Amino acid sequence: MSGNIDTKTAKMDLQAGKAVLSQRRGSIIGSIFLMATSAIGPGFITQTATFTFQFGAAFGFAILVSILIDVAVQMNIWRMIVVSGKRAGELANEAIRGSGFLLALLIIGGGLVFNIGNIAGGGMGMNAMLGIDSKLGGLITAVCAICIFLWKRAGKIMDAIIVCLGIVMICLTLYVSVVSAPPIGEALKQTVLPESIHWATVTTIVGGTVGGYITYSGAHRVLDSGFSGPGAVKTVSRGSVNGVVVTGVMRYLLFLACLGVGAAVVARDTSAVIMELIPPEMNPSGWAFLQVMGDAGLRIFGVILWAAAISSVIGAAFTSVSFFSVFNKKLAGGWARNIATVVFIAVSLICFLVWGKAPGTLLVFAGGLNGLILPIGLTIFMYIGWFRADLLNGYKYPKWLLGFGTAATLLSWYMAAVSIQPIFNMLSAA
């Protein structure tokens, strides 16, 4: 009899263990897509089209540099946060007193600017998809995001929705990039050997794909799943790289789609300046999709932009509010944090409704602003890696990875220094 009980207990323990592993695997996949879809926002889509039309195939080099920086940043940030078991602000405060508060203020501020742009992007997406007013579309987008955080199982629902939206965006963009017939050979050549380099552009797209809150979104989601400590290193390293790969694939596909449209326009009229052909009220990516597939292309663009917008609203709100715990421990989890997240989205919505002018410019500016914030957070974490290894639970941090991260940090400081004026000029020109 005892043997039967022991066998049943062992089976139950095995099933429980499998359930935990399955849940954690789902959380890791959700974390990958949370980071990737936070990066693949409306600003990302607007930036990619704008810069592709401005710089042509040479923009491929900027994408390559951004991916390399992204890998260096995410591998270091994910690893330090998860190994320590502490959120970014708390870990920063332990390393350098007060730095966590500074980092939190910068991330929350940058996240708010980004989220206003994300809601604007949601409005633009619904306008392209259904023809409704952009402000009404932004309102619907924000309300949908708020509803997710009002559910008791917000974490699981968020993971599932984020993964689905990410897959939809990539598949639709792949289709359009094939139909547009881009000059792939020229694109690959200039990705490695560009005719010109525009560092303000690189700073803006780095900020849009890994700057500000995006840097910490995936790692904070991993912590929420209960996955932390030195034993999690292999899993989070793979997850951080996969997140960057998803972002890079999406960006390059969109780049190719816009490049194909640009090449076709120039072939018809060699003197054409593409950005001058795009109506001021129209998103550059939407215009590109319209050229490729007519009205159906515009509807597809609307779906992609709205999916990018709502997933980024979720990611920006989740990550920005995760920094609130630096100021009040009660906001570290549970309903208190969900309510704070709802309030954060509501404030973003109000700002959008009050100041909804030039959303395309705001989206590009938001990426640039977060690119300026990036080196500050990176510097704090590189300091932790080099001088405060005692905060990493006995983990022996690889020096090659610190070197890679330090190189990315120095490059991000250089890009911020040479780009600050052009980036703020974008906003003053709005």
- Dihedral in degrees, nearest 10, Cα atoms 219, 225, 226, 229: -30
**Domain spans of the chain, in order of start:** 35-428
Q: Report CA 250 to chain centroid distance, whole Å.
A: 12
35-428 CATH: 1.20.1740.10
Predicted pLDDT at 4: 53
Computed on alpha carbons and rounded to an integer, the radius of gyration of the chain in Å comes to 22
Predicted pLDDT at 264: 83
Predicted pLDDT at 312: 85
* Whole-prediction pTM: 0.81
Predicted pLDDT at 12: 40
**Residue 142 tokens, joined:** 């924000």
**Residue 419 tokens, joined:** 């780009």
Q: Which residues of 72-94 are buried (b: 16+ CB within 10 A; e: fewer)?
A: bbbbbbbbbbbbbbbbbbbbbbb
- Least Cα distance to 407 among 103, 73, 158 occurs for 73
Query: pLDDT per residue over 77-119, tens digit each?
Result: 989 999 999 999 999 999 999 999 999 998 888 888 888 888 9
Matching residue, tokens 């509807």: 299
With contact defined as beta carbons under 8 Å apart, do 99 and 117 qualify?
A: no
With contact defined as beta carbons under 8 Å apart, do 304 and 45 qualify?
A: yes
Matching residue, tokens 């708390």: 90
- Least Cα distance to 41 among 144, 120, 129 occurs for 120
Total Cβ atoms within 10 A of residue 414: 13
Predicted pLDDT at 425: 66
List of the chain residues with pLDDT < 70:
1-27, 30, 38, 152-155, 204, 207-211, 269-270, 272, 356-371, 419-430
Predicted pLDDT at 427: 56
Q: Which residues contact 318 (CB under 8 A, 6 or more apart)?
A: 34, 158, 217, 220, 221, 341
Predicted pLDDT at 90: 93
With contact defined as beta carbons under 8 Å apart, do 55 and 188 qualify?
A: no
Predicted pLDDT at 78: 87
- Least Cα distance to 200 among 430, 428, 425 occurs for 425
Conformation bin of residue 394: beta by default, left when phi > 0, alpha when psi is -120 to 50? left
Matching residue, tokens 């968020």: 158
